[in-house]
Structure 1
Amino acid sequence: MITGGQSYVSAPPAFSADGRFLLVCSGRSVSVFSTSTGMLVSELEGHEGDVTAVVVVPPQSSAAAAAKLATHCWTAGLDGFLIYWDFATAELVRKVKVDAPVHSMVIPNISKKLKLTEVYAPFAFVSVEALSNKAIQDKAKGKPVAKKKELWGQLRIYDLWKGCQVGSELAQTRKPEKIVVSCSGEFLGIANKRHLYIWSIPTKDFNHDNIRKIKLGHTKKLSTLAFHPSERIVAGGDATGRILIWRGFGKAKFSGTHGAKSQVDEERDGVRGKDDAGTCTTWHWHSSGVNFLKFSSDGAYLLSGGMEGVIVVWQLDTGKRRYKPRLGSPLLFFVDSPDSSISCVSCTNNQVHLLNMPNMEVLKTVAGIKLPIASADLSRRDVCGFDSTNGLVAIPTQDYCIQFYNLFENTEVSEVQVCERNFQPVDDITLYISLVSLSIGGNLMCTVEVKLPEEELGGLVTLKFWNQGSRAGQFHLSTVIYEPHSDAGISAVAFHPGKNMAVSSSFGGNFKVWVQSLSLQSSDGKSQSGWRCQSVGSYKKKPMTAAAFSGDGSVLAVAAESVITLWDPDNNALVGVIAEALSPITKLSFAGDSAYLMSLSQSSKPQVAVWNVSNLSMEWSYTLFAEAACCSSSKSEFAVLSLLSCPEGGAPAEQDGIILIFDAENSKPVSSWSVKKAKGGSIAFLKDGPSFDASTDGTRGGEASLLVYVNGSHEYVIFDPLKNEEPQISKSTRKNIQADEPAPIGYASIYGELPKLELKKEVSDIPFIPSDRPWETIFTGSSHALPPLTKLCSVFLASLLEKRPVTDE
């Protein structure tokens, strides 16, 4: 099996101590990228659950210890383990068991006295998901536990040397909260509802009993916080876009002197009640919730980001601001490297941008598969398109693009801009891509975009045809057709398997057959292709809900609601009608080159049926709540992705879907596979890729097909659907993992590389050429390269003699 499509933005990434590597949480592993090239260097695999935190070991005061631990990190996951890694060699060093899913982790730079010597002591502060004491008692007594109400978040401390918990919980919250630690490790805090909870950590000779806590309040729900690198200043962002700056926090309680409490009664601008802070200032620019806050390394600026996709840089003393706009997607996390020369920002479109500081120029981008977007048409399924020949998936994005993603290499290939329109993340959805269809060879693409009407006016449906460029995944626009079916929506688009022909079916009651033709442009003399409508068909004015070509392209099947009609696509002649299905058909597909046609109905009366086109009858059917289905292009097999429970039913199980493999001639499934996150998923048959060929034993047939399953979160798995045994699940077998270049050191790390000089440089002898004024050039050049003295004297004396022209008498 090959897996991929993991999210790169589920948790904050981390830089290595020297800034050469970026460690990114990606599903159940950690991907290590080079900051200079943006390429994948290695992967850390060892967790059985999603990785939620990665922390690079803090730099040590001792040079020997710093060099030894420069490539070590800790990771935490939902499997309840903390793992210690040497990420330079991708070696798992140690595991610490927590016995609860870990959602966040920080490791302050703490020291502890050992034989009168201060030594580095790794203590992890983790936010875990655990049952409350009442829920534990109810569970022990056999009483039912209401998980939604009784799941609590706990803040715990773990001694990573001893592998055990230290003391009792620091706090209990309604749900696990993200922990933020200051640069010095002296303070850590969480945002919980309308309060910031801040703890003072004794970094010297650490003792759990000496930890102290304060609480700062607000009128709105707080979403994030950040600590100043050198002063007692903390910033908090709320759900309405406001940013609060508390200065001088913890002077009363953290100082250890009770006399300081008298300052509470003094006038403190903006501080609520008895909060332990000097002043509180409020800034407001964001129109919605603040997702991250980060102070600059010198503490002069505060950076913020949220739904607008804009990094706002605030001057801390004056409140003035400047912006880094047009990052294309809402922002989630901001992390800077230890030397602050490079930073990264994580976006909701599964991209991590590496920024050159302080001008915030985008240097490299780590791009994963685009995550699902909220579509305005919730009834649409199978929006993704598949290029089975090249192993690509085409995914509509929120910014009106089509992302082509290589499923075998787990990398982005390209992005095609479908609609030239500025995208604003905070705006309402007014335009979306409703359909993407690719030809079998992947050289043609068709997209359908829908502009929603405003106050019942201005709606528009656009059909666009695209031709492939110089390589797979590159397309250029060929033809644009506005309102191809008047004002009706398009239900399906399918390409002919053997020639440049396509069909589009419409809810308005007709379908159109399109053909590609060549037209000579007189302006530049170049031959360009264009698409035109060849014929129009309908059946009793019923909505046309699905369409498909047969394997050889001789038959066109179009679903008129629950009736399947068969047409000759070249002559636009109706050749047959098949009996009705139980409910309107949403998908049609021929099983390879056979005479069997698979239909899928996804209404309240679901049905998966197989029809024999030769005798116009139904072979067999099942009542299944199917989410997607696909047919092999070379064999009579097809696959159905079915939900285990009714969509209107209760909570889905962990394995909430099943993939059934059928041979069209037999109603008994050939094989079945249980899958997760089936809601919103897609399936498709692919041809064998190079990475899968390397892992097979040569027993597969030449025309064997693989099946790809893309779940509702766009994670995917590629497998052989006909193998009965459960193979080892592994990450994408990418062979193009590149080794990182050695980092510059010393002078080169600060000022860059010096130009290389040739130590031996050949110098040619200066030639002796008589001249009218040779004294102007005799002594030019380097002294060591002058001609011999004997030559110089004769030349110099000769130059003084007066030369007269010779005339014939």
Structure 2
Amino acid sequence: MITGGQSYVSAPPAFSADGRLLLVCSGRSVSVFSTSTGMLVSELEGHEGDVTAVVVVPPPASVAKLATYCWTAGLDGALIYWDFAAAELVRKVHVGLPVHSMVIPNITRTVKSTEVHTPLAFVSVEDTSKAADNKKALRGQVRIYDLTKGRQVGCLLAKTRKPEKIVASVSGEFLGIANKRQLYIWSVPTEGFKPEKIRKIKLSHTKNLTTLAFHPSERIVAGGDSTGRILVWRAFGKAKFSGTAGAADDDRDGVRGQDDADTCTTLHWHSSEVKFLKFASDGAYLFSGGMEGVIVVWHLDSGKRRYKPRLGSPLMFFVDSPDSSISCVSCTSNQVHLLKMPNMEVLKTISGIKLPIASPDLSRRDVCEFDCTNGLVAIPTEDYCIQFYSLFENTEVSEVQVCERNFQPVDDITMSISLVSLSIGGDFMCTVDVKLPEEELGGLITLKFWNHGSRAGQFHLSTIIYEPHSDAGISAVAFRPGKNMAVSSSFGGNFKVWVQSSSLQSSEGKSQSGWRCQSVGSYKKKPMTAAAFSGDGSVLAVAAESVITLWDPDNNALVGVIAEALSPITKLSFIGTSTYLMSLSQSSKPQVAVWNASNLSMQWSYTLSAEAACCSSSKSEFAVLSLLSCPGGTPAEQDGVILLFDAENSSPVSSFSVKKAKGGSIAFVKDDSSMDADTNATRGEEASLLVYVNGSHEYVIFDPRNNEVSQISKHTQKNIQADEPARIGYASIYGELPKLEPKKEVSDIPFIPSERPWETIFTGSSHVLPPLTKLCSAFLASLLEKRPVSNE
């Protein structure tokens, strides 16, 4: 069994001590990426629930090497200690409750007159013993765990309605959470730690606080609220933590009530909830981000700000590296951007599978399209792109921009990609985008044909057809196997057959290929709701509401009509190379039916509420994703079952229970070439796997004919690459120079590598090289050995 599609932005990532690796929480594992290449290096697998926190910690005193150790926490109630360089699990501590957040400050404890570093974890857990439907129940708790002894120490620090995110200062002296309209801040003794010495204060606000950050060197804390405002408290805890007198009430500008702080100032730019706050390492600047997709950099002394715009989606987390030359920002589009500081240039992007599009129109489902031959899934995204994602390698292959769009968080949805269709083999793609009318005026439906490029997932626009069926919507598009032909069916009562032609003339008078309409068909002016070609392409089946019509696609002649289904058909598909046809009805009278196209009769049917269905391309079998009733659950959490059928038998061959079936998709895909030889032999050359993509775009690939799912090797499918050596000199600053090949017709003296390369490293055109004053200082700095900054 192969799993993938996990979210990379469910929790904040963490950098290694040298900044060369980035540890990202991804489902039940932690994915380790190289910051120089953006490629997956290794995975840490050991949790039985989703990982919610990862903290890189110094190595044990007995280990004399760079810090490659971390602690992770998960919803399975486990805290695990890893050597992430070797991807080895060292030890495990059981908490017993789901852990939603964790910090591990640098604390020393006196043992027999000797100061010893004690790893103490402050965790935010969920008390599952209290009913979730009780809105007044305090299900969130902040606890302390001794990671050496594996037990809880001290009493509960706080109880909240839900588990809150814990934030620690750089020194580990202060911890805090945002709870409703207050910040809870604890002072933790980092030397001679005792739980009873912990002190707490509260800072109040008029709006719900969503996040906070501590200044790296001064007693300053910033909090962001749900309306986009940022509050900065200075000299907090002077009375409670330090025991000194605070400022007089007349001098406590902006401080509410008896809050223990000298001043409180407000910064405002964001139009909605502030998602993250982070102080720069020198404390002079404050970074903030939210729904606007813009990083705002605040200068604390002057109040001036600058921006990093056009990140394309709302922001969630911002994490800086000990290297200080690189940071990362996590976006809701399931992307992590690696930023070169301080100009915040995007160096690399770690892209996961895009999340489902949030649409108020529940009748419009976000359905994926599959390239079964190449093992790819095509997913429409919010920025009007089609993302091609490799199912076996669990990585993004490419993105195709269907319509242009500049991201604006307050924009109303004016367009949508309503349909994506791929030909067998992935040579052609067809998309349908719909521009919604404004006040019932200005709507537009566009049909676009795309030709495959030089690599997988790459497509070039070939033909644009505006209003292909007048003003009626398009219900389905299907490609004919073996020929450059496609058919589009319309709710307006007709279908059109499109063929690729090379006789079209461009504006420059050159001949170019494009798609044109060859013929038009209809049946009693009924809406055409689905279409499909047979395996050999000789028969075209089109659903006229509840009636299935069979056509000869070459001369557009009606050759047969099959009896009616119970309700309008939403999906048609031929089962393998057989004469059986599967139909799906998803109205108030749901039905899954198998028809025999040779004698124009129904083979068998089920009254079944199906979310999706797919047919094998080589065998007479198909699979149906059916929804199960889920009392009290949300539609997104609705469970389901996958049923595998043989066309000639109405009894399911096998069944599989799945989660989040609402909005899910299924498809048969071919075995990847990297599968073990023995495994391929047992399944046969024509065997295929079944992929299930749930409503959150997480997926699983398995063999539906074999219960021993362990036969599919997960690790052989991962696109894991070794980390490349660190760059030094010129390459570490400006990257590798392009390799220039001399023209063959020019006779030049061949270049002989010099034994003294430093004499030619700065050779180049004056307009290309940066100024010498900047280049030399940066070059010399790059040759210095970088070491992690000690917090002691």
Instruction: State TM-score, norm by structure 1.
Output: 0.88
The one-letter code of the counterpart of 1:561 is E
Measure the CA separation in 2 of the matches of 1:304 and 1:382: 32
Question: What whole-Å deviation, never above 9, does each CA across 1:732-782 have from its counterpart, x for those lacking one?
Answer: 5346422223447999999999xx962799xxxxxxxxxxxxxxxxxxxxx
Aligned to 1:33: 33
Kept in 2, the 8 Å contact 1:17–1:59? The answer is no
Measure the CA separation in 2 of the matches of 1:207 and 1:346: 36
Residue 423 (structure 1) aligned with residue 407 (structure 2): yes
Question: What whole-Å deviation, never above 9, does each CA across 1:477-503 have from its counterpart, x for those lacking one?
Answer: 000011111111111111111211111
Residue 74 (structure 1) aligned with residue 41 (structure 2): no
Question: What whole-Å deviation, never above 9, does each CA across 1:418-458 have from its counterpart, x for those lacking one?
Answer: 11232323312111111110001100000011111112111
Residue 633 (structure 1) aligned with residue 620 (structure 2): no
Aligned to 2:704: 721
Aligned to 1:545: 529
Structure 1 unmatched runs, 5+: 136-143, 762-809
Kept in 1, the 8 Å contact 2:637–2:662? The answer is no
Aligned to 1:782: none
Deviation of 1:384 (Å): 1.4
Give 3-state SS (helix, strand or coil) of 1:487's partner.
coil
Report how many aligned residue pairs link the two structures: 744
In 2 relative to 1, CA 151–533 (structure 1 residues): closer, same or farther, beyond 3 Å?
A: farther
Aligned to 1:770: none
Question: What whole-Å deviation, never above 9, does each CA across 1:73-94 have from its counterpart, x for those lacking one?
Answer: 0000000000000001000000
Residue 468 (structure 1) aligned with residue 457 (structure 2): no
Deviation of 1:376 (Å): 5.4
Aligned to 2:578: 594
The one-letter code of the counterpart of 1:626 is A
Measure the CA separation in 1 of the matches of 2:214 and 2:678: 49
Question: What whole-Å deviation, never above 9, does each CA across 1:497-555 have from its counterpart, x for those lacking one?
Answer: 12111111111222111111112547667542111111112222222111111111121
Moved more, 532-541 or 153-162: 532-541
Measure the CA separation in 2 of the matches of 1:635 and 1:287: 55
In 2 relative to 1, CA 720–525 (structure 1 residues): closer, same or farther, beyond 3 Å?
A: farther
Kept in 1, the 8 Å contact 2:71–2:82? The answer is yes
Aligned to 1:700: 683
Give 3-state SS (helix, strand or coil) of 2:109's partner.
strand
Aligned to 1:507: 491
- Larger Rg computed on CA atoms: 1
Q: How does 1:286-301 map to 2 (within 5 A)?
A: 286-301=270-285
Measure the CA separation in 1 of the matches of 2:440 and 2:732: 61
Measure the CA separation in 2 of the matches of 1:748 and 1:204: 43
The one-letter code of the counterpart of 2:651 is K
In 2 relative to 1, CA 147–98 (structure 1 residues): closer, same or farther, beyond 3 Å?
A: farther
Q: How does 1:652-691 map to 2 (within 5 A)?
A: 656-691=639-674
Residue number among 95, 98, 102 corresponding to 2:95 in the alignment:
98
The one-letter code of the counterpart of 1:658 is V
In 2 relative to 1, CA 639–749 (structure 1 residues): closer, same or farther, beyond 3 Å?
A: closer
Deviation of 1:379 (Å): 1.6
Give 3-state SS (helix, strand or coil) of 1:723's partner.
coil
Measure the CA separation in 1 of the matches of 2:323 and 2:614: 52
The one-letter code of the counterpart of 1:113 is T
Give 3-state SS (helix, strand or coil) of 1:740's partner.
coil
Measure the CA separation in 1 of the matches of 2:128 and 2:723: 44
Measure the CA separation in 1 of the matches of 2:637 and 2:273: 31
Q: How does 1:348-387 map to 2 (within 5 A)?
A: 348-375=332-359, 377-381=361-365, 383-387=367-371
Residue number among 109, 114, 119 corresponding to 2:111 in the alignment:
114
Measure the CA separation in 1 of the matches of 2:274 and 2:477: 41
Aligned to 1:737: 720
Give 3-state SS (helix, strand or coil) of 1:733's partner.
helix
Measure the CA separation in 1 of the matches of 2:403 and 2:508: 26
Measure the CA separation in 2 of the matches of 1:216 and 1:382: 43
Kept in 2, the 8 Å contact 1:402–1:417? The answer is yes
The one-letter code of the counterpart of 2:77 is G
Deviation of 1:378 (Å): 2.7
Give 3-state SS (helix, strand or coil) of 2:358's partner.
coil
Residue number among 181, 191, 195 corresponding to 1:194 in the alignment:
181
Aligned to 1:400: 384
Deviation of 1:402 (Å): 0.6
Give 3-state SS (helix, strand or coil) of 2:542's partner.
strand
In 2 relative to 1, CA 295–731 (structure 1 residues): closer, same or farther, beyond 3 Å?
A: farther
Measure the CA separation in 1 of the matches of 2:370 and 2:657: 22
Aligned to 1:140: none
Aligned to 2:85: 88
In 2 relative to 1, CA 735–527 (structure 1 residues): closer, same or farther, beyond 3 Å?
A: farther
Give 3-state SS (helix, strand or coil) of 1:696's partner.
helix
In 2 relative to 1, CA 597–732 (structure 1 residues): closer, same or farther, beyond 3 Å?
A: farther
Aligned to 1:780: none
Kept in 1, the 8 Å contact 2:486–2:499? The answer is yes
Kept in 2, the 8 Å contact 1:302–1:316? The answer is yes
In 2 relative to 1, CA 519–581 (structure 1 residues): closer, same or farther, beyond 3 Å?
A: same
Measure the CA separation in 1 of the matches of 2:731 and 2:194: 43
Aligned to 2:776: none
Measure the CA separation in 1 of the matches of 2:103 and 2:462: 53
Deviation of 1:460 (Å): 1.0
Aligned to 1:781: none
Question: What whole-Å deviation, never above 9, does each CA across 1:674-726 have from its counterpart, x for those lacking one?
Answer: 11111111001111112334571522221111111111111111111111334
In 2 relative to 1, CA 606–291 (structure 1 residues): closer, same or farther, beyond 3 Å?
A: same
Give 3-state SS (helix, strand or coil) of 1:515's partner.
strand
Give 3-state SS (helix, strand or coil) of 2:710's partner.
coil
Q: How does 1:405-484 map to 2 (within 5 A)?
A: 405-484=389-468
Give 3-state SS (helix, strand or coil) of 1:698's partner.
helix
In 2 relative to 1, CA 596–750 (structure 1 residues): closer, same or farther, beyond 3 Å?
A: closer
Residue 127 (structure 1) aligned with residue 110 (structure 2): no
The one-letter code of the counterpart of 1:681 is G
In 2 relative to 1, CA 264–157 (structure 1 residues): closer, same or farther, beyond 3 Å?
A: farther
Q: How does 1:25-64 map to 2 (within 5 A)?
A: 25-58=25-58
Instruction: State TM-score, norm by structure 2.
Output: 0.90
Measure the CA separation in 2 of the matches of 1:366 and 1:210: 43
Moved more, 520-529 or 2-11: 520-529
Question: What whole-Å deviation, never above 9, does each CA across 1:619-670 have from its counterpart, x for those lacking one?
Answer: 1111211110001111111000111217x87568988211111111110111
Kept in 2, the 8 Å contact 1:630–1:640? The answer is yes
The one-letter code of the counterpart of 1:12 is P
Residue 321 (structure 1) aligned with residue 308 (structure 2): no
Aligned to 2:163: 176
Measure the CA separation in 2 of the matches of 1:329 and 1:555: 44
In 2 relative to 1, CA 743–205 (structure 1 residues): closer, same or farther, beyond 3 Å?
A: farther
Aligned to 2:469: 485
Residue number among 532, 535, 542 corresponding to 1:558 in the alignment:
542
Give 3-state SS (helix, strand or coil) of 1:721's partner.
coil
Give 3-state SS (helix, strand or coil) of 1:727's partner.
helix
In 2 relative to 1, CA 396–156 (structure 1 residues): closer, same or farther, beyond 3 Å?
A: same
Measure the CA separation in 2 of the matches of 1:302 and 1:694: 55
Kept in 2, the 8 Å contact 1:264–1:274? The answer is no
Residue 758 (structure 1) aligned with residue 750 (structure 2): no
Give 3-state SS (helix, strand or coil) of 2:155's partner.
coil
The one-letter code of the counterpart of 1:22 is L
Aligned identity (percent) is 84
Q: How does 1:774-789 map to 2 (within 5 A)?
A: none
In 2 relative to 1, CA 130–649 (structure 1 residues): closer, same or farther, beyond 3 Å?
A: closer
Measure the CA separation in 1 of the matches of 2:506 and 2:159: 75
Measure the CA separation in 1 of the matches of 2:757 and 2:418: 67
Q: What do you get for the CA RMSD once the two structures are aligned?
A: 2.6
Kept in 2, the 8 Å contact 1:3–1:729? The answer is no
Aligned to 1:7: 7
The one-letter code of the counterpart of 1:331 is L
